[in-house]
Amino acid sequence: EAGVTQFPSHSVIEKGQTVTLRCDPISGHDNLYWYRRVMGKEIKFLLHFVKESKQDESGMPNNRFLAERTGGTYSTLKVQPAELEDSGVYFCASSQDLLAGVGYNEQFFGPGTRLTVL
Amino acid sequence: AQSVTQLDSHVSVSEGTPVLLRCNYSSSYSPSLFWYVQHPNKGLQLLLKYTSAATLVKGINGFEAEFKKSETSFHLTKPSAHMSDAAEYFCVVIGGYSSASKIIFGSGTRLSIRP
């Protein structure tokens, strides 16, 4: 079974440009999460989708970040315009819904996208 | 509220010696606790998990962790370090049992192995 995949693995852009990150969750996982780790600090929660709906977007830093999950499958995270402080590693994770009988919210992580804003 | 503190940002041990990575947690609920590992250029991989079953949890690659409620700790150990253990390790707490429960990461401990 394929794990969570993310594209691209690394992106280098200039300040003011736009970047779109993509995440493909494990097939059948309704829950999809975005996290980021900036400047070697803690990994921080950004937002949580349940299928195509945003369950919690309290971690989104500002309105330059837009996340979508069309059709409840893959998700994109767009940064527009990018700023220097957006540099970091963006992780995506997915999990099954608890109704599927899973007793805890184990999340499976992708390899991350390393974003460098110059 | 939930929080997790990893007490060491960097640990260095010699190959073949024991590993101890320390983690303390704070949780309003009976917590679910995890250790994840990230090798260079790889994704976060689950090492082991505690979900209110046995307090001594065994994970992959010879790692284990003991949940100690009285000390609010969940330290990660391994009897004998291997060069391939060099990576960054994250202690994680989830304060609930719904898919909306937030996962809280510690700041990470980078483990170096000396030959």
Query: For the segment A12-61, what is each residue's pLDDT rounded down to a tens digit?
Result: 999 999 999 999 999 989 999 999 999 778 899 999 999 999 988 989 99
Question: Regarding beta strands B87-94 and B23-26, do their DSSP bridges make them parallel or antiparallel, or are they unpaired?
Answer: unpaired
- The answer to whether the beta carbons of residues B6 and B23 sit under 8 Å apart is yes
Cβ contact A104–B108 (<8 Å): no
Q: Does A1 touch chain B (CB under 8 A)?
A: no
Closest CA to A109 of B43, B49, B37: B43
Question: Residue for token digits 């590992």?
Answer: B37
- The pLDDT of residue A72 is 85
Question: Residue for token digits 């949580």?
Answer: A48
- The answer to whether the beta carbons of residues B50 and B32 sit under 8 Å apart is yes
Q: With 60 as the cut, is the pLDDT of residue A100 above it?
A: no
Question: Residue for token digits 């049992």?
Answer: B97
CA angle B24, B63, B99 (to 5 degrees): 60
- The pLDDT of residue B36 is 94
Closest CA to B32 of B98, B110, B107: B98
- Substitution target from A6, A42, A56, A92 for chain B, most B beta carbons within 10 A: A42
Cis peptide before B18 (omega within 30 of 0): no
Closest CA to A72 of A24, A30, A9: A30
Contacts of A4 in chain B (CB under 8 A): 43
Cβ contact A30–B90 (<8 Å): no
Query: What whole-number distance in Å separates Cα of residue A52 and Cα of residue B104?
Result: 23
Query: For the segment B10-67, what is each residue's pLDDT rounded down to a tens digit?
Result: 999 999 999 999 999 987 777 889 999 999 877 888 999 887 778 899 999 999 999 9
- The answer to whether the beta carbons of residues B71 and B30 sit under 8 Å apart is no
Q: With 60 as the cut, is the pLDDT of residue A101 above it?
A: no
Query: What is the least distance, in Å, from the CA of B12 to any CA of chain A?
Result: 18
- The answer to whether the beta carbons of residues A23 and A4 sit under 8 Å apart is yes
Cis peptide before A81 (omega within 30 of 0): yes
Query: What whole-number distance in Å separates Cα of residue A90 and Cα of residue A115?
Result: 7
Ordered alpha helix ranges (H), B1-115: none
Closest-CA residue in chain B for A5?
B43
Query: What whole-number distance in Å separates Cα of residue B94 and Cα of residue B86?
Result: 25
- The answer to whether the beta carbons of residues A73 and B69 sit under 8 Å apart is no
Cβ contact A110–B108 (<8 Å): no
Backbone torsions φ then ψ of B113, nearest 5 degrees: -120, 125
Query: What whole-number distance in Å separates Cα of residue B56 and Cα of residue B65?
Result: 6
Query: What is the least distance, in Å, from the CA of B100 to any CA of chain A?
Result: 7
B104: pLDDT confidence band, cut at 50, 70 and 90? confident
